[in-house]
Structure formats: structure tokens, C-alpha cells
Homo-oligomer: A and B are copies of this chain.
Amino acid sequence: MTEKKDGAVFARTVLQQCLHATLQVKPAEDQSQAQFVQIDRGMVIYICFFKGATDDILPKMVSTLLNLRLCESDSGRMVSVLELPGSLLIVPQATLGGKAKGRAMQYHNNIDKEQGLCLYSAFVSLCEKELTAASPGGGAEAAVKHGTYGNRQVLKLDTNGPYTHLMEF
């Protein structure tokens, strides 16, 4: 469901809960092995921006996603990822903007690559700020990790129920 009743969607996110997740951030090359980031318990955020999206939407997006009660605490209560406290794995996912035309998927409404990268980077930074602010003790356990924009997102996910949610902004 969208946040808005009418009007354009500027960003689409899919959220999944995880016990552990690993994401490739650099593919293997002749001289080097592939590089990965990983998180333990927390939330995977798949994200795609659409044409017309600007920085303006980011603070509300981050505040909403990090404060929604989407995570199950040890006692079975629903809490936010900040309250858990859990880590974040942010995965750029242009395919989320796909629209079926016949048997093919088209991505005409996706934002262009340069703007998308800017928004993606700013989104990641804001998430890092919010997570740091929420764990004044240093928050060694909770971390923000993220994929490399434009790359293939080689992902492994281990869940106790993904509790997949869709949030649009």
C-alpha cells in the first residue's frame, strides 16, 4: 500500500526481516576475489527511485522505514529496527520499478542512473545517521551495510520469516 492516496510514487521499497544476510559489493576480477558485506539480525531494504524523485522525500522515507514496527523482538512483540536494535542491509534494486508490457519488463519510469546514485547514497547516509543517533552507546551491534549501486546484487538471506512488506513514497 502506498503512503499517498493519489499522485506519483517517487520511491518503492520492499522490506524483509533477516537473521543473517550477505551481499556482494564487488565482483571477482582477474586479480581479486569478490567482496561481500554482511549483517546479522535486522532488515533488508530493497530500494528503487522513480523519475521526479528528489532529496526532499528522503528524511520522511528513512524516518518511516526505521521507525515502523516491522521487526519481531525476542518476546514476540513488534518493534522497529531501531528498537530491536537491528542492522540494515540496503540493496539497490532497479527491477522494482519494472512494469509488464506483454511478456517483457520495462523500466521507463526508473530515475536515471546518476540521479539514482545520488539519492541512493544520500539515503544510505541518512540511515547511518539515524542508526547512530538511536544507539548513543556506540551501537557496536547494529550497523548499516549496503550494496554497490548499478552492480548485480548477489544476495544470501537467512530468515526466521521474512515478513515481506511493501512501502512506497
Contact = CB atoms under 8 A, between A and B. Distances in A.
A68 B159 contact: no
A70 B106 CA distance: 11
A122 to B, nearest CB: 21
Interface residues of A, number: 40
Given A98-B1, A155-B157, A156-B158, A164 B103 contact: no
A95 to B, nearest CB: 5
Instruction: Pick from A70, A93, A100, A164 the residue with the most CB of B within 10 Å.
Output: A164
A67 interface: yes
Q: Tell me which of A3, A12, A99, A100 has the highest count of chain B C-beta atoms within 10 A of its own C-beta.
A: A100
Interface of A: 1, 3, 12, 14, 46, 64, 67-70, 78, 80, 91, 93, 95-100, 103-105, 109, 152-167
